Amino acid sequence: MSHPTDQDLRNYALDELGRYKKFRIIEHCKECPECAERLIEAAREHGPEPEPFRLSKWNKISIVVMIVALLAVAFGMYWLLSSVGQSSARDLLETPAVPEGTPSLSPEEAPQEGGEPLDPDAERLG
């Protein structure tokens, strides 16, 4: 039995051989550890490189869809704010807690307790 050539092994690693030729090489490597080693070497040199973070086509598509969705949400928010009106949109962004016009209890405006003088008539009668 003749040994497969380096070219054969390389083509095997690149998956460019027909099924029958691959079968013959495999059958040969079962009986010939030397060629099995060569085949492993060829696969290591020419085979597809293992990429741990390799993204499949569908992974990429789902990422693109996710980014598009995020952009759509951001654009929707922007459109919502700008459709309310430039000034009010700015107010919403800058003063989110207390909208203008809410009555605030400042010390001056708070009702004074005990400030009223006692009724003079009550003192006179008692």
Chain residues that interact with Zn ion, rule: CB under 5 A: 3, 32, 35
CB of 17 to Zn ion, least distance (A): 16
Please identify, using beta-carbon distances, which residue of 34 and 94 lies nearer to Zn ion. 34
**Are the beta carbons of 37 and 30 closer than 8 angstroms?**
no
Q: How many angstroms from the chain centroid is the CA of residue 51?
A: 20
CB of 54 to Zn ion, least distance (A): 33
Q: What is the DSSP letter of 50?
A: P
**With the CA atoms of 91, 93, 94 and 95 taken in that order, what torsion angle do they form, in degrees rounded to the nearest 10?**
70
Please identify, using beta-carbon distances, which residue of 1 and 97 lies nearer to Zn ion. 1
Please identify, using beta-carbon distances, which residue of 27 and 45 lies nearer to Zn ion. 27
CB of 15 to Zn ion, least distance (A): 20
Q: Which tokens is 83 given?
A: 């459709």
